[in-house]
Chains A and B, each alone.
Chain A
Amino acid sequence: MLFLIIKRILLGLITLFIVSLITFVGTEILPGDACTTYLERQAFGEQLEACYRRLGLNIPAYERYVSWAVNAIQGDFGYSLSGEMPIKEVLGPRIKNSLVLASVAIFIGIPIALILGIVTALWRDKLPDVAISTVTIFAMTIPEFISATLLILIIAIWLEWLPGIVIVPTDVSFFELLPNIILPVIAIAMIMTAHMARMVRSSVIQVMASEYVQMAILKGVPYWKMVFKHVLPNALLPAINVVALTIAWLLGGVVVTEVVFNYPGLGRLVIESISNRDLPTVQALAIILASIYVSINLLADLMTLMLNPRLKTLQIRK
């Protein structure tokens, strides 16, 4: 078991190394570099040379990679180009904001998704299923930029209940932020919950059709006891990985929603730094997002391993 965990962690680190290499090489072979972007029309002669010296672009690429990697491991990603401030300081509040948005969406979305999924599965083809399934499929198919825009139109503009866009400083405190994130959370949670509810539904239906559930019924196990003891533990195991992917997506990838609501999270930072050609920040973001994906998936795998007796003993035997 321990061996397996170590092996998985090592594999994760190798993945991160490859990601860092790809982003570094990628930014290297793109035409132009940080200095030409920064200096624009003045990018020639003495000024360009000075800029290269200042950013260390005059030394060979592999040396730059090594020193960048060594610093990155220590949490130092260098300086951003546009603001000329340490990337660490740019990232900090953004990560916090994204975390707030994601965790609120998760805490609301996952329980709702589980309940909806289980209800639709247990009342399969009956009214609750038909009603909820219609809504979830509808929610799944509407792209978030449309649902987000509609939310702004109805709740912020027509009803004037909540602010339509988030206009707060990046480093605002949690409680000041809270009222601002209600609309973005709804927009994100709609798609996420719908997806997960569908997943849970099919998983529960599959387990309900299994021979061991039929056996439990024939053993005289009361319905709800059967659901909680025989069905759900087996049906929700495969859901762990899907939840993990969703969390990772929430933390790093809700770009569209963040842009629509002007929310100061990681997703918008990605867009901003790409359009500013702020390559050091892009590199840092790539590494951070990759780490989030890798570590959350690792966690999910380990959890599945812990909860599934079948996998647990198999690994021990080997």
Chain B
Amino acid sequence: MTVIIQKVKNLSIGFKSKKGEEILILKNITTNIKKGETVGIVGESGSGKSTLALAMMGYVKHGLYTIGGECEFNSSNLLNMKSKDLEKIRGRKIAMIPQNAGQALTPNLKIGYQIDEALQLHSDLNEKEREKKISELLNKVRLPSPETIALRYPHELSGGQQQRVAVAMALAGTPDLLLLDEPTTGLDVTTQAHVLELLNFIAKDTGTSMVYVSHDLGAIAQVSDRIIVMYSGEIVLEGPSRDILKKPIHPYTHGLLKSIPKLSLAGLPESMPGSQPQPGTIQGGCSFFDRCNFSEEKCKNNSPELEFLKEFNTSVRCFNYEKLLKEGEINQNVNKIKNNSQDKEILNLSDISISYAKQKLLDQIFNRITDDNPTVKDININIKKGETIALVGESGSGKSTILKSIAGLLRTKDGLIRFEESRNLSSDLKERNPNDLRIIQLIFQNPDESLNPNHTVEEIIAQPLKLYFGLKGEELKKNIIDLLQKVRLGEFYISRYPRQLSGGEKQRVAVARAFAAKPDIILCDEVTSALDVSVQAAVLNLLQQLKEDFGTTYIFVSHDLAVVRAISDRVAVLYQGRLCEVGPSNDVYKFPSHPYTEVLLGAVLEPDPDIKPKLVAEDIVEEKPPEKGCSFQGRCSRIVGDICKKEIPPWQLTDSGNAIRCHIPIKELQKEQFK
């Protein structure tokens, strides 16, 4: 007999718009959470998934209110409970692990106190016992030396450690239900895999039910038994995890899974059109109608009900799910990207070192940088015209730092940036002439911040056109409309402001602005990270198309290794500002490779319950690169001896032209990794 822990019944939550209309964030949600199961709630930003998780704790954010329905826990409705009674449930029966532990831990209170607070509230232990319990909890979440960690302030810990503290805090009350709101989203790939592994262990160990909210199907696939897919405030699909991920019978999930790049597949996946509608804009009919490949006339005006299919133990909200049932297991098509690289070299980085150390007075006077152990060191990369080279690595690996130097935003300590074999570019923006500035353009991670909110799309795109080509009047306008069409935006976007655009549309405008300068090289800094999953593939496809049309060279920085796999011709792997491996993507993604690449690739989470991450190295955060020897010595599981600590490893070439910097001979690496 399965015990139901929480019942969500016909829950609707919304807000009043300025015009006084009631706008729904959650529409009539009904679902049950059973004892001991882990339920994944997946959806894009704005799908209502976080609102639903918070409602399960009886918490409704400022500005929102419950329109109808209930969240039943122990046969009482949390949504109309008095706050006195809620205090006894929150943290004790139901606990939350927040998305961003760095923001969710109170900055002025020590770690130990924050856990102790939960223990004081939710247990009868005395002070001595509590102290012991804090150590136990910190041990359980695998934090080193619990006694010293307890005395630290939140900002003194790394992101992964903060997240572990949040887990420990949630476990303090031994809750029956754990709600996890994107608990690994802000973390590095390797840390993310470790935290997920810990959560899986805890779920098994304590038998706690979990609700895991995320936009990341990869993470959801690793933890959940059952998946709920949300789209604009509705449950569109709910069922056993494996079925949902392998044979999704709702068009949205189907399209989404097809559009996510996979490590095992080189090439760009098909993209989904459009983006999720804003709350309150749907006029009746199916909310997915505009983007659906299976839609019919009746979908336009009638909205489908959530239908329970007993034989599959699945609920689906679609009139045409049978068509998808017939399709069976999902079959991902990818378009192999054309390798446009020519033999001509376009950019050469030689011996680049970059230092963030504060300059001493004397150095400031002589305008020089002295630092024996700079953040980025000895970067040698030769970039061919028309290729896409990706820089990958965890946060702190120096990938964005190198981009900034190429753009001239950050002075280098040593080294040369050479353009087209002949021209040296200064790393100081002020010393570059307008043409040097034009040939290299940047696209930033977050278009919300990189587009001026007070400028219309026209003004945004006009700036490079006016600046570099002096265009005016009709000609200027014609060029702007041309560019908008190139990024698949209609002419009518010209008078819009960034706030009137969706995330994907904003990023398209940013792309158009970069291409307006007719650059030779475009630096892409995490261009898809801020976008929703369903929009990501469309932007990647657009970038690839534009590259083929214009012969542009991309230097692509991303933490998402599957995205890099999809779009890049060549990959450079960085650790602590030092190159580990450079080579054609196909070879880097195949073993044998540098031990760090092995760690990175092993930690990638695929939206497939059958592919488990391999955790090779410890997840330690190093603050500074080591002074001597191999940059990866601190975390490497294949250290061969003192030589790794003393000497910088030599470059070794594989047969396929992959360069690896390691003391272990290639042949032996191969043996080790194929074991």
User: What is A's interface to B at a CB cutoff of 8 Å?
Assistant: 209-223, 229-230, 233-234, 307-310, 313
Contacts and interface: CB of A to CB of B under 8 A. Distances in A.
A211 B103 CA distance: 6
Contact of A230 (B57, B109, B122, B169): B109
Given A215-B98, A313-B155, A220 B173 contact: yes
A220 B87 contact: yes
Interface string B88-107: 11111001101010011111
Interface in B438-482: none
Given A219-B118, A219-B169, A313-B153, A209 B62 contact: yes
B49 to A, nearest CB: 16
Interface of A is mostly: helix
Contact of B90 (A211, A213, A217): A217
B64 interface: no
The residue among B88, B89, B106, B117 with the most chain A CB atoms within 10 A of its own CB is: B106
B648 interface: no
Nearest to A318: B358
Contacts of B83: 223
Contact of B92 (A211, A220, A308): A220
The residue among A220, A223, A229 with the most chain B CB atoms within 10 A of its own CB is: A220
A228 B89 CA distance: 21
B121 interface: yes
B156 interface: yes
Given A219-B121, A220-B92, A222-B87, A214 B109 contact: no
A212 B96 CA distance: 12
Contacts of B98: 211, 214-215
B108 interface: yes
Contacts of A233: 108
Contact of A221 (B103, B104, B108, B121): B121
B95 A217 contact: no
B65 interface: no
A229 B107 CA distance: 11
12 contacts: A210-B103, A211-B103, A212-B105, A215-B96, A218-B57, A218-B90, A218-B95, A220-B90, A220-B91, A221-B121, A222-B121, A307-B108
Nearest to B153: A309
Contacts of A220: 86-92, 118, 121-122, 173
B104 A212 contact: yes
B59 interface: yes
A212 B166 CA distance: 11
Interface residues of B, number: 33
A209 to B, nearest CB: 7
Given A215-B96, A220-B92, A309-B107, 15 more contacts: A212-B104, A212-B105, A215-B104, A217-B59, A218-B90, A219-B90, A219-B95, A219-B96, A219-B118, A220-B87, A220-B88, A220-B90, A221-B121, A222-B121, A230-B106
Interface in B69-99: 83, 86-92, 95-96, 98
Contacts of B121: 219-222
B159 to A, nearest CB: 14
A130 B276 CA distance: 38
A202 to B, nearest CB: 15
A240 to B, nearest CB: 13
A271 to B, nearest CB: 44
Nearest to B59: A218
Contacts of B91: 218-221
A106 to B, nearest CB: 25
A218 B114 CA distance: 13
A74 B645 CA distance: 61
Contacts of A210: 103
B62 A310 contact: no
Contacts of B88: 220
Nearest to B179: A218
Contacts of B169: 219
3 interchain residue pairs of minimum CB distance: A220-B91, A220-B90, A211-B103
Contacts of B54: 218
B173 A310 contact: no
B87 A212 contact: no
A213 B109 CA distance: 12
Contacts of A234: 106-108
Contacts of B59: 214, 217-218
Nearest to B96: A218
A204 B12 CA distance: 31
Given A217-B90, A220-B92, A221-B117, A313 B156 contact: yes
A211 B122 CA distance: 21
A219 B107 CA distance: 16
B114 to A, nearest CB: 8
A215 B105 contact: yes
Interface in B109-145: 109, 117-118, 121-122
A150 B168 CA distance: 61
A219 B153 contact: no
Nearest to B58: A218
Contacts of B57: 218
Given A211-B100, A215-B98, A313-B153, A221 B87 contact: yes
A230 B117 CA distance: 11
Contacts of B118: 219-220
Contacts of A213: 106
Contacts of B105: 212, 215
Contacts of A212: 103-107
A310 B96 contact: no
A303 to B, nearest CB: 14
Nearest to A230: B106
A88 to B, nearest CB: 40
A206 to B, nearest CB: 13
Interface string B286-310: 0000000000000000000000000
A15 to B, nearest CB: 20
Contacts of A313: 153, 155-156
Contacts of A214: 59, 98, 104
The residue among A221, A229, A307 with the most chain B CB atoms within 10 A of its own CB is: A221
A123 to B, nearest CB: 13
A181 B403 CA distance: 64
A121 to B, nearest CB: 13
Contacts of A221: 87, 91, 117, 121
A215 B86 CA distance: 14
A257 to B, nearest CB: 37
Contacts of B173: 220
B107 A310 contact: yes
Nearest to A312: B153
A309 B87 contact: no
B612 to A, nearest CB: 31
B52 to A, nearest CB: 14
A21 B153 CA distance: 45
Contacts of B92: 220
A308 B86 CA distance: 32
Contacts of A216: 106
B178 to A, nearest CB: 12
